Structure 1
Amino acid sequence: MRIDGLWVGQVAMAALMNVAFAFAIGSALLDAWLAKEGGRAIAAPSHHAWLRAQRSLVAAAIVLVLTDAGWLVYQAASMSGSDVISALGVVPTVLAQTHVGQAWCVAFGGAVVMLLAALLGRNGTLGHALFWLAVIVVAAGKALLGHAADAGVWSASAAIHTLHILATGVWGGVVLAGGFGVLPALDTSVARGALIRVAGQVSQVSLLALGFVVITGALNAERGLGGSLAPLQSSTWGHVISLKLMLVALALVLGGMNRMSALPRLRRTASTVDAHTFNNVLHLEALVMIGVFIAAAALAHSAPGYLAAG
């Protein structure tokens, strides 16, 4: 692995893909929860937050499609040893003749369907089913773009990594969409009840998704380490995963503060101060989650620890 401008570009595109994918998932979940709060009605206190969830879903899906395309160009440049502009001519060959191109087509196709479903409003059972099917397809495609595909398309490693991407997308998504855009729109006294209920759902879903993140992440780490802890100290991959684990731990602390302290106080008092506290801590957790997704992108573009350690 050579860390140069091309590698940085790949990682940046992959990190944006991670963030956009999670943001779309979180926005879709918040959209559904706020719809149950009556958010579709213009006069409802939660209407503004529901609009934000809808708009952030569409924006995230657009960013996902664009960054998928940008990543492919950087990948073609990396595989051909050319610059980014010259790599445009190599893209058709990468798509037609490489495993990376085929996996990218899966991920990109899923992203396009996600965008279409978001633009059409996902009305009805069929629309929702199409959107979440597309989410699974994107996760599978992203998993096959990484090291998990080395064991085979239908391997347990690929399945575990797909589940890890989905779980991370749910956990990070409700934190990102909630902390950066949707929950602050409920920061009024008339919307306080909706804020308390949606905040509770954010906390519950985050905790459930976290369980899957920890289990699948541990299995991924074991595969990357090759059964030895030595690569943690002797490889770039080991250093990056150590950083990722520290960021995950920090996100856990912030999420725990909200779940164990801020949210119970908010439920008891329904005060503006406690509402601000919950939203501010969630905002900080969202910032940390961006770091987690950047670290995950760097891991995906680094040689696994057991290879680097020989």
Structure 2
Amino acid sequence: MIHFSKAVSAMVLALGMVGSASAAYPEAQPVKVLVGYTPGGTTDLVARIVAKGLSDELKQSFVVENKPGASNNIAMTDVARAKPDGYTLIVTTIASSVNATLFKKLNYDLKKDFSPVALIAKVPNVLVVNPKLPVNNVKELVEYVKKNKDKATYASSGIGSSQFLCGEQLNQDADTQILHVPFKGSAPGLTAVMAGDVLMEFDNMPSAWPFISSGKLKALAVTSKEKSAVAPQLPTMIESGFKDFDISSWFGVLAPAGMPKEDVELLNKAILKVVAKPEVQKQLADQGAIPQNMTPEQFGSFINDEVDRWGALITKLGVSAN
């Protein structure tokens, strides 16, 4: 009888453990959301807006953890190697689709090692120069560059960033040779433009807009196909004479490959619900971000298209990061 009681106790304990292990996602524990960039940048801001919304929506803590380095690759590698249970996510950017070709050696495969969850938003870049520069539009800037080749430099947050892509796209379209000057982030690049150390920068609207508003930077155009709601007075690069110039940063959520499909879909619906809330729409709009609405499958196709698009440009430029 004693042995029977022990057996029953063991069975009850085992069943309790199984029930605990199979708690509905994301009840079991807080969710870690990695950001491969420093705090305060656009990726970090977007991640924190969405993480707070998810915490409220799913009644679980979604905690943003910044892990910058190697053009987002350190954080991406961590997520690729994480357990595919949905408790480790990343808010990644356009840089991940560029890195797929730019880096010859990566510790992950963007197309194979992740479960696409949701595209959050797209953010246009804005072309800025020092207010003292004697140009008022992109055409005048190109003319200035061609006459002052020794001063022709552009800042970016590194090879593979959307700032870099914009700079090289302009070089191709305008037949210029503006020298790329990489910085550790967009903020140091903007500081260099304001100081007159670098001629120009294409930067995310949220990062650049405060300096444009205060008169510390002069904005010439936005890089998206559509005008920016934040600055409708600015022409697009297409309107400025570059017919195929349509480049926007994007921000989306990835999980490790193998995350249960039902949990991916639950998280996708929660993110889309958060992004659709008026207060979140306003927060994103204040950052110059345009909210998106895609299923996980659509986001996966979008990523594959971006890898192919930027892979062609990187190959044509003949640049490599390692």
Normalized per residue, the structure richer in strand is 2
Q: What is the TM-score of this pair, normalised by structure 1? A: 0.28
1 or 2 for the larger relative contact order (CA 8 Å, sep ≥6)?
2
Normalized per residue, the structure richer in helix is 1
Higher alpha-carbon Rg:
2
